[in-house]
């Protein structure tokens, strides 16, 4: 009996020591979740490593999580394992605030006064502000971008399309019947993002009075305008990888993302530049964008001291995020983008003047993720004529409404 009691006490002691060790590690470590599963995860690793090498009181542990939002829901429900800091997308902020799962950044901003609106790109800052309360600190803006093949533009005498930084759909259509077989004017990369841009160019929106507005005349006009390009035989074939076709030198314009610049630069012989997404009108251009934002999920175990450590890390990032530009992102910190070193990156085009900055449009509608899912699902088939446009718009509207009902 005494031996058993002694063994039990020894095991209890060991468990206590182990738990104390884990607790101490958690106490002095900022657990930082991100959804950065691509190459940009390595760039964030480098930023975190550089910060930890400054020997801060609270070191940062970067955890890349593929299904991050699902896992966030799980830990918030259980109230166990909630990260100290996270990166979330701009369109998540309204819903998270409504669910009351985000901690305001008030204490962070008080600890580091330079974490303030005037030090960041305006859109990236304001998307985190709900009813006067700041719930996030921005890292970047990542945007739709249109890359162009310089050699093909010269070959087809289309270099003047870029004179005003606005390539119009009419200019694209003017090349009908002038291309060699196997060449195309534009691909269908991120085509739903292109539609979102046209909605703004046409003066529309995706909501009316808080309710989703998908089956609208503006949405129809936007899709029909793009549909004309396909009907003219100027868009890469349905089912083909238009992104790779651009890299192969057979497409004049590729409507992918700012983060693709590194991949394009790695293609030998691809002589390319970047401009704005094509527009329905020469009077206005829009680049549909989003933002990666630092945010804190509500966590009862996060101490005031750790919040100060988070503030120190975010201030370090504000001043030392040139590494993030290497990932092809539009850095949100003005200190970084105003540096001459930033001009070497292709995406600096989008912050080269105020008009360009204003073109970066971030949708902040609470149910934007559902609208985006609807467009991603149905728009390609509508543009290609696989689905009647009126029928498709009705289907998309119902899709969003059903998603909202399920969520509620």
In a domain, 338, yes or no: no
pTM, two decimals, is: 0.91
In a domain, 2, yes or no: no
Say yes or no: 152 and 112 in one domain: no
Which residue in 379, 173, 175, 145 sits closest to 246, CA to CA?
Answer: 145
Say yes or no: 21 and 122 in one domain: yes
In SS3 terms, 347-396 reads as HHHHHCCHHHHHHEEECCCCCHHHHHHHHHHHHHHHHCCCCCHHHHHHHH
Say yes or no: 241 and 372 in one domain: yes
Residue 318, CA distances (Å) to 167, 216, 311 in order: 34, 41, 10
Q: Which helix (H) or strand (E) holds 64?
A: strand 59-64
The pLDDT, as a whole number, for residue 19 is 37
Q: List, for the chain, all residue ranges whose pLDDT scores fall below the cut of 50.
A: 1-25
In a domain, 359, yes or no: no
In a domain, 212, yes or no: yes
Residues 309/30, Cβ–Cβ less than 8 Å: yes
The pLDDT, as a whole number, for residue 13 is 42
Residue 47, CA distances (Å) to 131, 219, 321 in order: 32, 41, 7
CA torsion 37→38→39→41, rounded to 10°?
A: -20
Which residue in 364, 385, 384 sits closest to 96, CA to CA?
Answer: 364
In a domain, 35, yes or no: yes
Say yes or no: 121 and 149 in one domain: no
Q: Which domain holds residue 77?
A: 17-139+291-319
Say yes or no: 247 and 374 in one domain: yes
Say yes or no: 236 and 372 in one domain: yes
What CATH number is given to the structural domain containing 76? 3.40.190.10
The pLDDT, as a whole number, for residue 23 is 36
**How many structural domains compose the chain?**
2
Q: Decide: helix, strand or coil at residue 218.
A: helix
Q: Decide: helix, strand or coil at residue 10.
A: helix
Q: What is the pLDDT of residues 222-239, one digit of tens each?
A: 999 999 999 999 999 999
In a domain, 347, yes or no: no
């Amino acid at each position: 009996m005494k031996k058993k009691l002694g063994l039990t006490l020894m095991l209890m002691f060991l468990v206590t020591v182990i738990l104390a060790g884990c607790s101490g590690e958690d106490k002095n470590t900022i657990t930082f979740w991100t959804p950065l599963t691509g190459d940009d995860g390595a760039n964030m690793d480098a930023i975190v490593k550089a910060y930890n090498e400054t020997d801060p009181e609270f070191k940062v542990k970067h955890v890349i999580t593929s299904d991050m939002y699902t896992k966030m829901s799980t830990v918030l429900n259980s109230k166990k394992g909630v990260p100290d800091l996270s990166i979330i997308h701009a369109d998540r902020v309204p819903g998270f605030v409504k669910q009351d799962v985000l901690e305001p950044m008030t204490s962070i901003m008080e600890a580091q006064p330079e974490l303030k609106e005037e030090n960041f790109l305006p859109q990236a800052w304001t998307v985190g502000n709900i009813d006067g309360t700041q719930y996030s600190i921005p890292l970047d803006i990542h945007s739709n971008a249109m890359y162009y093949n310089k050699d093909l533009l010269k070959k087809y005498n289309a270099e003047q399309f870029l004179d005003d930084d606005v390539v119009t759909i009419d200019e694209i259509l003017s090349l009908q019947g002038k291309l060699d077989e196997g060449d195309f004017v534009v691909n269908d990369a991120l085509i739903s993002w292109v539609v979102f841009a046209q909605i703004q160019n046409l003066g529309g929106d995706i909501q009316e009075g808080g309710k989703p507005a998908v089956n609208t005349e503006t949405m129809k006009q936007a899709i029909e305008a793009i549909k004309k390009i396909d009907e003219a035989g100027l868009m890469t074939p349905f089912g083909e990888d238009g992104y790779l076709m651009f890299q192969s030198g057979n497409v004049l314009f590729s409507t992918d993302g700012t983060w693709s610049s590194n991949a394009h630069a790695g293609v030998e012989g691809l002589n390319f530049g970047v401009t704005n997404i094509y527009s329905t009108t020469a009077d206005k251009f829009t680049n549909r964008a989003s933002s990666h934002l630092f945010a804190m999920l509500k966590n009862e175990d996060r101490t005031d001291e750790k919040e100060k450590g988070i503030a120190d890390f975010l201030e370090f990032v504000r001043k030392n995020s040139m590494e993030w530009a290497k990932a092809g992102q539009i850095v949100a910190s003005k200190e970084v983008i105003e540096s001459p070193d930033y001009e070497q990156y292709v995406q600096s085009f989008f912050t080269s003047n105020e008009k360009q900055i204003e073109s970066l449009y971030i949708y902040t509608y609470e149910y934007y993720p559902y609208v985006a899912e609807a467009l991603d699902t149905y728009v390609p088939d509508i543009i290609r004529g696989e689905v009647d446009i009126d029928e498709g718009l009705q289907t998309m509207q119902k899709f969003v409404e059903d998603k909202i009902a399920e969520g509620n």
